[in-house]
Chains A and B, each alone.
Chain A
């Protein structure tokens, strides 16, 4: 078994392990496999080693260090890092170097974490396969003929390929949970507002949420302890949060926990092997003492349309600022202001980003607003209400993460709608704001990872972690 982060930190602090050696071991993996996997857009190995030596020296000098002392971490390339390229995998931001650190980065650095690189993603976090990156295609470390999922595919691949013990991604409609499932790692989307979005380059502002990728549920909880909290720079961050140690109750077990399984999650389009695997996990949960019950939650079938309207509408306004004037890609082909803006955007954005901008612009156009945006917003309220009611009855909702196994590179590239359908099980919690985790549930016959999703009530991450931990221990999957 691999060491968990807490143990690594303890060993580094006690001198049993040096941060330098730890970072070096990950750099060796990167040197060996990164040329194939392509998880990173920017690597900061030299800086990471220098920082590791600094940390080792401080420990030797008897200084007390933070909860991530000497631990390397990979960061999705849409989270701002001061002085380090943050491109959103877009030609538009190819040369963008943020003048500030995102709040999550500040929190990690305050605990003496070491940033080892910035990871590849679908451009502006729009996509489910990492094929929309303007720069490179990340391959799935479990099967390099397949995609790692998206949009946080680079962050998921980095952990699966052992380039880093932990990484950060962002989840707008499943962008953490789906790649976690595809790469066989743990991925958490926290409650909207639990982790600050300040410094996360916006896609769908009311849906985006930063969360960790890790090898274990315990590591996920450990990282959430550090990155969560109210942020005065993010007005959507939840005020007056209780101080919670998410790792504290992991071993409490789940006896008596009520788990609801929506039958709508097992309808047409779900891969048989995934269905089997999830059912197997549900049996395990029963064995562990949970009450598992199938029920009907019809509204979750309708979420996809609302999600694509909402997220595209917000994206269309969030991406307005990229006009070639202040920063980012500027076209050489213009003779006036309109051409400067139009050509910069036409040349700087990729096809999928342009598709979403058009979709969102259409949904917000006067005359269409009521039919699309307003309806999606009304749906969202209803969904929130229905989920709230559901969580009065059940502690958790459990189901699949993705309807399909990791697909082949290029397989769905030409069919955006098929790609959008891959988000069907993940988007509901983004619309409602609830937390959800994806953990490995098994393997397909071909050996491809399969994930299972546990969703909870608002701010009920503790319950999610508890159940996920019990299931993880019981399944003991070796990928």
Chain B
């Protein structure tokens, strides 16, 4: 039997506010354990939350960017469950009245236009992190993440394949990044997702029993987890022999590369949702929405359109640039500094990407600044150094954002373009290689290439190839 895959996603994106959702602790990643905590976020008795206005505005921004309806009257609720990463043993979230409803994300995938409806976006506080000490019967808790503001974005079950789901995540990520709504640093946990996946025979209207996969934090893991679960369900339907797909929650174990059952529908938690009595309802005004809508930065689709018309790049090039906000921003800076767009694009998609991959660095974390990169590209453009030397210089300056000019000068890498200097070198090469000159005269034109190689070698690669070639050709014809 042929099956159709149905997928819906629940995405947690950390909202880009400087302080936590209910207190003034920093949201900065990487602090010492429990350094970013206070009596409020650790739920010390008697303390009360105060909602961070910035978080509300970021959620409105997300809703605007994703085509949602902003609910002008919404409220916070408590979701109660006992777990040591939650200092109050309830998470302050939104239940029946979220800040945004509906929404639509459109993107092109494998030649077809995919439309994914959103169910809702709500705001909530993140939980802490448990650290299980290897070999010891203890666990430690780091509450730095507690109270970090999250937007939970829930889609309708509109995705029909694993690759579509991954493409959707990429699209969503770029919207959140370009909207300056979330940093979407998956490796830091600021963008995570849970996936609901079910199978149904092609043509059947009703959905099959769905399985929720938790703990997915990269595109690759999303792909792997979904593929694995898709196969597991297909095999159960096809060869089950009494084993059945059950509605349950399974945890994706990236290390083992498989999903592990967490709980079934019968043992589902009762969260005892209740209105958060410490926070009044959230009232949003039209002017607030208007101001935020106006302040929305250029979205990826608009940027793509502009890149295509302004810079004469191919669609593929533009897609790669836009797909990585750090690269696109870097590219635009470099072009603004006067570098030809095509050259900037070639260098970024070629050399910069290569170095980032080698060094395993995200484009946002690149230390090299556009100014120094542009300076390097201009010297290459002017023919003062060759492409190859340029590449070497880039490698040298990349990690510490060094000045390329200084590097070129110190190492004497500047290309020799003056005919006088080059003439001496060419003369020397011709004088030292009489056989090759003879061969050339005998009609072996490739000997000119050999002589050019010698010129480059003797000049330690600094000879301007164009000028050198002209000189070699001239000298040979004169002989």
- Seen from chain A, the residues whose Cβ lies within 8 Å of a Cβ on chain B are 78-80, 86, 88, 93, 96, 98-100, 102, 197-202, 204-206, 232-236, 313-314, 316-317, 320-321, 323, 325-327, 337, 341, 361, 364-366, 369, 373, 377
User: How far is B270's CA from A377's CA once the two chains are assembled, in angstroms?
Assistant: 20
A235 B84 Cβ-Cβ under 8 A: no
B270 A366 Cβ-Cβ under 8 A: yes
Query: Which of the segments B44-52, B112-120, B246-254 contacts the partner chain?
Result: B44-52
User: How far is B268's CA from A419's CA once the two chains are assembled, in angstroms?
Assistant: 37
B43 A321 Cβ-Cβ under 8 A: yes
0/1 string, B271-287, CB within 8 A of A gives 1: 11111011110000000
B67 within 8 A of A: no
A313 B48 Cβ-Cβ under 8 A: no
A-B contact count (CB 8 A): 97
Whole-angstrom distance between the Cβ of B381 and the nearest chain A Cβ: 57
A236 B274 Cβ-Cβ under 8 A: no
User: How far is B48's CA from A205's CA once the two chains are assembled, in angstroms?
Assistant: 10
Chain A contacts of B84 at CB under 8 A? 323, 325, 337
* A365-B270, A366-B270, A373-B274 known; A320+B42 contact, CB < 8 A: no
Whole-angstrom distance between the Cβ of B283 and the nearest chain A Cβ: 12
- From A78, A201, A316, A320, name the one whose CB has the most chain B CB atoms within 10 angstroms: A320
B50 A205 Cβ-Cβ under 8 A: no
- A-B pairs with lowest CB-CB distance, top 5: A320-B89, A205-B277, A364-B272, A206-B277, A80-B46
B74 within 8 A of A: no
- From B78, B90, B278, B279, name the one whose CB has the most chain A CB atoms within 10 angstroms: B278
A198 B270 Cβ-Cβ under 8 A: no
The dominant DSSP class at the A interface is loop
Which residue on A lies nearest to B43, using beta carbons? A321
User: How far is B271's CA from A326's CA once the two chains are assembled, in angstroms?
Assistant: 22
Instruction: Find A323's partner among B47, B89, B270, B278 (CB 8 Å cutoff).
Output: B89
Chain B contacts of A377 at CB under 8 A? 275
Chain B contacts of A233 at CB under 8 A? 48, 50
Whole-angstrom distance between the Cβ of A336 and the nearest chain B Cβ: 10
Would you list 25 pairs from A and B whose C-beta atoms are within 8 A, ordered by A residue? A88-B45, A93-B45, A98-B46, A102-B46, A197-B48, A199-B47, A201-B45, A201-B46, A202-B45, A204-B277, A206-B277, A233-B48, A233-B50, A235-B48, A235-B279, A236-B280, A317-B272, A317-B274, A320-B88, A320-B89, A321-B87, A327-B44, A327-B45, A364-B272, A364-B273
- Seen from chain B, the residues whose Cβ lies within 8 Å of a Cβ on chain A are 39, 42-51, 78, 80, 82, 84, 87-90, 141, 270-275, 277-280
Which residue on B lies nearest to A364, using beta carbons? B272
* A93-B45, A320-B90 known; A314+B277 contact, CB < 8 A: yes
Whole-angstrom distance between the Cβ of B277 and the nearest chain A Cβ: 4
B277 A234 Cβ-Cβ under 8 A: no
- From A80, A199, A317, A377, name the one whose CB has the most chain B CB atoms within 10 angstroms: A317
User: How far is B87's CA from A99's CA once the two chains are assembled, in angstroms?
Assistant: 16
User: How far is B45's CA from A96's CA once the two chains are assembled, in angstroms?
Assistant: 9
A98 B45 Cβ-Cβ under 8 A: yes
Instruction: Find A235's partner among B43, B44, B82, B280 (CB 8 Å cutoff).
Output: B280
Known: A80-B45, A205-B278, A320-B88. 15 other contacts (CB 8 A): A78-B46, A99-B39, A197-B48, A201-B46, A236-B48, A236-B279, A313-B274, A316-B80, A320-B82, A320-B89, A321-B89, A325-B141, A326-B42, A369-B273, A373-B274
B272 A100 Cβ-Cβ under 8 A: no
Which residue on A lies nearest to B141, using beta carbons? A325
User: How far is B49's CA from A197's CA once the two chains are assembled, in angstroms?
Assistant: 11
User: How far is B90's CA from A297's CA once the two chains are assembled, in angstroms?
Assistant: 38
Whole-angstrom distance between the Cβ of B144 and the nearest chain A Cβ: 15
* A314-B274, A317-B274, A373-B274 known; A234+B48 contact, CB < 8 A: yes
Chain A contacts of B275 at CB under 8 A? 377
A320 B50 Cβ-Cβ under 8 A: no
Chain B contacts of A235 at CB under 8 A? 48-51, 278-280
Chain B contacts of A200 at CB under 8 A? 46
User: How far is B64's CA from A92's CA once the two chains are assembled, in angstroms?
Assistant: 47
Chain B contacts of A205 at CB under 8 A? 277-278
Whole-angstrom distance between the Cβ of A27 and the nearest chain B Cβ: 28
Instruction: Find B274's partner among A78, A99, A326, A364 (CB 8 Å cutoff).
Output: A364
Chain B contacts of A100 at CB under 8 A? 39, 44, 46-47
